[in-house]
Amino acid sequence: MGRLCVSRGKENMSTELAFPEWQVPLQEAILDFQNKGRLLKIETVILARLYQLTGSGQLQEQQALTDALSTIRVLKQ
């Protein structure tokens, strides 16, 4: 399972990520969590990807997406 680890340099952000196409923007949004527009944008990307995977059997990514949505919801509060 991919880990969501935040590093100091952008060049290392995709290290050890299973789904960097949406996990890297998520990391950036977490680092800039006060930017509500950025959080909403990545939330939309994640919801769209989750919808794409519905019924695909790709449970690992679906769980990672669900976890990411939980993180975003906490940051939005």
**pLDDT at 4 exceeding the cut of 60:** no
* Model confidence band, residue 63 (pLDDT cutoffs 50, 70, 90): very high
Q: Is the dihedral of CA 37, 6, 25, 68 positive or negative?
A: negative
- Domain assignment present for 2: no
Question: Would the pTM count as exceeding 0.85?
Answer: no
* Model confidence band, residue 47 (pLDDT cutoffs 50, 70, 90): very high
pLDDT at 15: 62
Number of domains the chain contains: 1
Alpha helix (H) residue ranges in the chain: 20-31, 36-53, 59-76
- Domain assignment present for 4: no
- Structural domain boundaries enclosing 53: 18-76
